[in-house]
Chains A and B, each alone.
Chain A
Amino acid sequence: MESKEEIRQSVRNREDSMEENKLQNFIEKIIENIFFISACMAIISVAVISVFIFYKGGPAIFQIGVKEFLTGTTWQPLGDYFGILPMIIGSIYATIGAIIIGVPIGILTAVFIAELAPEWIQNIVRPSVELLAGIPSVVYGFFGLLVFVPFIADTLGGAGNSLLAASVILGIMILPTVINISVTSLNSVPKEYKEGSLAMGASHIQTIFKVMIPAAKSGILAAVILGIGRAIGETMAVILVAGNTPLIPDSLTDPIRTMTANIALEMGYAYGLHQEALFATGVILFIFIMILNIMLNLFTNKAGE
């Protein structure tokens, strides 16, 4: 009698737990779907933005003429001149300048953090770098406007708003990206390489430059490419220090206008073909960024091998 009751009890228990399992499965499904939908958001956003930019900007490129648009050196919306070559060159020069300034400093800083600095100095440098990454770009621009622009005007002449000022500010702005990713890739170099080199009587510095940096090469290249992406896309800081004249610069002290600045400065009041030409500038910028991303994927895939 009693045992029958027990069996019945246990069957009931089992049914209860199956009930629970079902509920749990259901919840799992819902959570999975939430993840999936979140992932879709990112993809949909990219897709919508791409379609929108190409839809708004694409036709203008053909209306203006591909050659006219890409190689024209005059940007005069009122006179219907829409040549963005000065802006393309402005963006490229400023980015190259940023790389020349930011990449060596960034890599050396990364080596210092990853290999040379004693603990207590690391504890100062690393948070400073984090902080550098967190400063809003308008503040960089403001700082550049107050410090670099007058300094350049005083020492090198000209108005100070210039390619040089933009390069310096962008060079500083890409530092956190270059440093953090380079540190990560240096830290992930197998310690066996380092030991092997030191055990042969190579010095620490030789070990760093001959073994560790080459072994971390693809990570460091990825850091540089992400830095380039940051520099080419930067808008606010550049607007404040670059002078924004839509002309091809002849020297470091000449003003430049970047593609991003072109869009941001004129979008507020543009309409008609002018507005579309700004979207078209966005298309070109978008293509630049896409090429960078493809390069990045190539490098990081190679790193994974």
Chain B
Amino acid sequence: MNKTKLSVKNLNLFYGDFQALKNIDLEVESNKITALIGPSGCGKSTFLKTLNRMNDLVENVKIEGKVTLDGEDVYNNIDVIKLRKRVGMVFQKPNPFPMSIYDNVAYGPRAHGIKRKSKLDEIVETSLKQAAIWDEVKDRLNQNALGLSGGQQQRLCIARALAVNPEVLLMDEPTSALDPIATQKIEELTEELKEKYTIVIVTHSMQQAGRISDNTAFFLLGEVIEFSETAKIFSNPEDKRTEDYITGRFG
């Protein structure tokens, strides 16, 4: 049977008085790609950030309900730092640090106490290889990461996230700023990564969700309208609103 990695029960989230997430129930399976789709402002990013508690940075945010990672409550008695180490994140806009390519990738391992140069070298190399960018940057690891192209920067950010050896990778529209070729590279990458990692990806592209994901959740105005296998949602959606969105009749 498929193993549940992240389980979300009855999740409500408020930004002040505004309720951004309503009664969300969702199970993320291990070593699968779960896609989150839905129109702009429906709460996809907000939901994603509840999974690694990045919403903690927002003032006046109130969260109810339960999120568990391997059965462990994410909002109770957990070390947020360990949680974020286990649940990595790639942002919509590539956000490499203004430092060298090497230092970007080594940043996480260093933050978690790895100091030995040989160990760091090894992590940097494997992470960059996993993110399919090693060949492009191996000769200029000491150059500033901001000099890379957008697509390279995003793959560097993926490498950076992989370097701390997470179990789950959250990706918030990782390809929205990229051209088709870079997008394709990242899509192929996710396919490979799911061997080792559990992936949750937000996307605005139906095609992308259809191509790469195993399960898809359709969000609308803070609610999950439908959540099932991607093949089913795209071929035979249960809810009229899902169908309308997928066929492009609104959104």
Q: Which residues of A contact B (CB under 8 A)?
A: 190, 192-193, 195-203, 206, 210-211, 214-215
Can you list 18 pairs linking A and B with CB atoms under 8 Å apart? A195-B57, A196-B95, A197-B97, A198-B54, A198-B57, A199-B52, A199-B88, A200-B84, A200-B85, A200-B88, A200-B89, A200-B107, A201-B82, A201-B111, A201-B112, A202-B107, A203-B81, A214-B99
Give the Cβ gap from B230 to chain A, nearest Cβ, in Å: 26
Known: A201-B81, A201-B164, A214-B99. A196 touches B111 (CB 8 A): no
Q: Which residue of A lies closest to B108 (CB)?
A: A200
Give the Cβ gap from B16 to chain A, nearest Cβ, in Å: 15
The 9 A-B residue pairs with the shortest CB-CB distance, nearest first, are: A201-B85, A192-B95, A202-B111, A201-B84, A199-B89, A200-B108, A196-B95, A201-B81, A206-B111
Q: Which residues on the B side are within 8 Å of A214 (C-beta)? A: 98-99
Cβ of B160 < 8 Å from any Cβ of A? yes
Docked pose: A106 CA to B3 CA in angstroms: 52
Q: Which residues of B in the span 82-129 have a Cβ within 8 Å of any Cβ on A?
A: 82-85, 88-89, 91, 93, 95-99, 107-108, 110-112
Q: Which residue of A lies closest to B96 (CB)?
A: A196
Q: Which residues on the A side are within 8 Å of B89 (C-beta)? A: 199-200
Partner of A200, one of B57, B96, B164: B164
Partner of A199, one of B54, B96, B112: B54
Known: A195-B54, A195-B57, A196-B157. A202 touches B108 (CB 8 A): yes
Give the Cβ gap from B232 to chain A, nearest Cβ, in Å: 32
Flag if B84 contacts A215 (CB, 8 Å).
no
Known: A192-B93, A211-B97, A214-B98. A197 touches B107 (CB 8 A): yes
Q: Which residues on the B side are within 8 Å of A206 (C-beta)? A: 111
Give the Cβ gap from B238 to chain A, nearest Cβ, in Å: 34
Cβ of B161 < 8 Å from any Cβ of A? yes
Q: Which residue of B lies closest to A200 (CB)?
A: B108
Chain B interface residue count: which class? 20 to 34
Give the Cβ gap from B108 to chain A, nearest Cβ, in Å: 4
Q: Which residue of B lies closest to A192 (CB)?
A: B95
Partner of B97, one of A196, A198, A199, A203: A196
Q: Which residues on the B side are within 8 Å of A199 (C-beta)? A: 52, 54, 84, 88-89, 91, 161
Flag if A193 contacts B88 (CB, 8 Å).
no
Q: Which residues on the A side are within 8 Å of B81 (C-beta)? A: 201-203
Flag if A190 contacts B160 (CB, 8 Å).
no
Against A, the Cβ 8 Å flags (1 = close, 0 = not) of B147-168 are: 0000000000100110010000
Partner of B95, one of A190, A201, A202, A203: A190
Q: Which residue of B lies closest to A194 (CB)?
A: B57
Give the Cβ gap from A123 to chain B, nearest Cβ, in Å: 15
Q: Which residues on the B side are within 8 Å of A198 (C-beta)? A: 54, 57, 84
Flag if B160 contacts A200 (CB, 8 Å).
yes
Q: Which residues on the B side are within 8 Å of A193 (C-beta)? A: 95, 97-98
Docked pose: A111 CA to B179 CA in angstroms: 38
Q: Which residue of A lies closest to B111 (CB)?
A: A202
Q: Which residues on the A side are within 8 Å of B110 (C-beta)? A: 210
Give the Cβ gap from B81 to chain A, nearest Cβ, in Å: 5
Flag if B98 contacts A215 (CB, 8 Å).
yes
Give the Cβ gap from A193 to chain B, nearest Cβ, in Å: 6
Q: Which residues on the A side are within 8 Å of B84 (C-beta)? A: 198-201
Q: Which residues on the A side are within 8 Å of B98 (C-beta)? A: 193, 214-215
Docked pose: A200 CA to B85 CA in angstroms: 6
Give the Cβ gap from B167 to chain A, nearest Cβ, in Å: 12
Give the Cβ gap from A270 to chain B, nearest Cβ, in Å: 52
Q: Which residues on the A side are within 8 Å of B161 (C-beta)? A: 199-200
Give the Cβ gap from A219 to chain B, nearest Cβ, in Å: 13
Q: Which residues on the B side are within 8 Å of A203 (C-beta)? A: 81, 111
Docked pose: A200 CA to B90 CA in angstroms: 10
Flag if B111 contacts A200 (CB, 8 Å).
yes
Q: Which residues on the B side are within 8 Å of A201 (C-beta)? A: 81-85, 108, 111-112, 164
Docked pose: A197 CA to B99 CA in angstroms: 13
Docked pose: A190 CA to B94 CA in angstroms: 12
Docked pose: A206 CA to B85 CA in angstroms: 14
Q: Which residues on the A side are within 8 Å of B157 (C-beta)? A: 196
Docked pose: A196 CA to B107 CA in angstroms: 10
Q: Which residues on the A side are within 8 Å of B108 (C-beta)? A: 200-202
Q: Which residue of B lies closest to A211 (CB)?
A: B97
Q: Which residues on the A side are within 8 Å of B99 (C-beta)? A: 214
Docked pose: A90 CA to B84 CA in angstroms: 52
Known: A201-B112, A201-B164, A210-B107. A196 touches B85 (CB 8 A): no
Give the Cβ gap from A61 to chain B, nearest Cβ, in Å: 45
Docked pose: A157 CA to B229 CA in angstroms: 82
Flag if A215 contacts B160 (CB, 8 Å).
no
Q: Which residues on the B side are within 8 Å of A200 (C-beta)? A: 84-85, 88-89, 107-108, 111, 160-161, 164
